[in-house]
């Protein structure tokens, strides 16, 4: 069974201690979590914009992983270095989500190795959730995956939203950043179904493009 949940988190260090921040993340923060049963893998990313926004995706075997004592201890009793980092970074977000769907191109067995990730966050009212999910699954994603560089899309229902008020997360895995400017993305964004939804006041997504960082040692 593949991942059934996710932790998606963003934060930005100051340039004067950015190298130390990366060392902490790679040698302490991620390894401590991957020792916990149910943490399947982790991958770090850096924004393609100039804001030096770092992002990490932890894929989990299920939401219950976060109820383990080992994880609670990490969260409740951080090391002094971890405590300092989390108190001094800016733009901190943390979204914990339960998997809704995985859609991939048939020739992509390891989507998580994709060099780019495009994240999309929405705050969907409960009475619009069924149509939003149907549009995404039946109309939007199938069109995007016709683009050769659009490799996969994993969608999550957010249960914990820190740093933003969102209910749904889509993580799109891309072979090339230019996929977001492709003809098929334009077709997906101009479909009649999307046009109808876009007239709703809540239909305002938060979009961000990241490039994959080398794996920690």
Write down all domains in the chain, each with its CATH number in brackets: 5-212 (3.30.70.100)
Q: Which alpha helices (H) appear in 8-150, and where do they start and end? A: 18-24, 30-34, 69-76, 80-88, 129-135, 141-144
The average pLDDT across 33-50 equals 96
Quote the pTM value: 0.96
DSSP state of 149: T
Does residue 215 surpass a pLDDT of 80? no
Note the pLDDT of residue 176: 98
pLDDT band for 217, please (50, 70, 90 cuts): very low
Tokens of 129: 């959730």
Does residue 200 surpass a pLDDT of 60? yes
- Cα distances (Å, whole numbers) of residue 85 to 10, 72, 93, 155, 183: 13, 18, 14, 29, 42
Coil vs helix vs strand at 120: strand
């Amino acid at each position: 069974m593949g991942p059934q949940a996710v932790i998606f988190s963003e934060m930005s260090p100051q340039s004067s201690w950015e190298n130390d921040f990366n060392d902490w993340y790679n040698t302490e923060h991620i390894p401590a979590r991957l020792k916990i049963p149910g943490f399947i893998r982790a991958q770090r990313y850096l924004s393609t914009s100039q804001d030096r926004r770092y992002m990490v995706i932890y894929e989990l075997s299920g939401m219950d992983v976060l109820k383990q004592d080992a994880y609670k201890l990490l969260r409740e009793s951080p090391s002094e270095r971890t405590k300092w980092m989390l108190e001094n970074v800016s733009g901190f977000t943390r979204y914990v989500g339960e998997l809704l769907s995985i859609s991939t191109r048939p020739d992509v067995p390891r989507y998580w190795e994709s060099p780019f990730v495009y994240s999309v966050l929405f705050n969907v009212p409960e009475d619009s959730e069924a149509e939003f999910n149907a549009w995404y699954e039946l109309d939007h994603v199938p069109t995007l995956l016709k683009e050769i560089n659009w490799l996969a899309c994993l969608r999550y229902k957010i249960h914990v939203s820190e740093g933003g008020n969102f209910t749904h997360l889509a993580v799109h895995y891309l072979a090339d950043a230019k996929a977001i400017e492709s003809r098929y993305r334009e077709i997906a964004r101009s479909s009649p179904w999307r046009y109808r939804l876009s007239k709703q006041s809540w239909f305002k997504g938060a979009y961000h493009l990241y490039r994959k960082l080398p794996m920690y040692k």
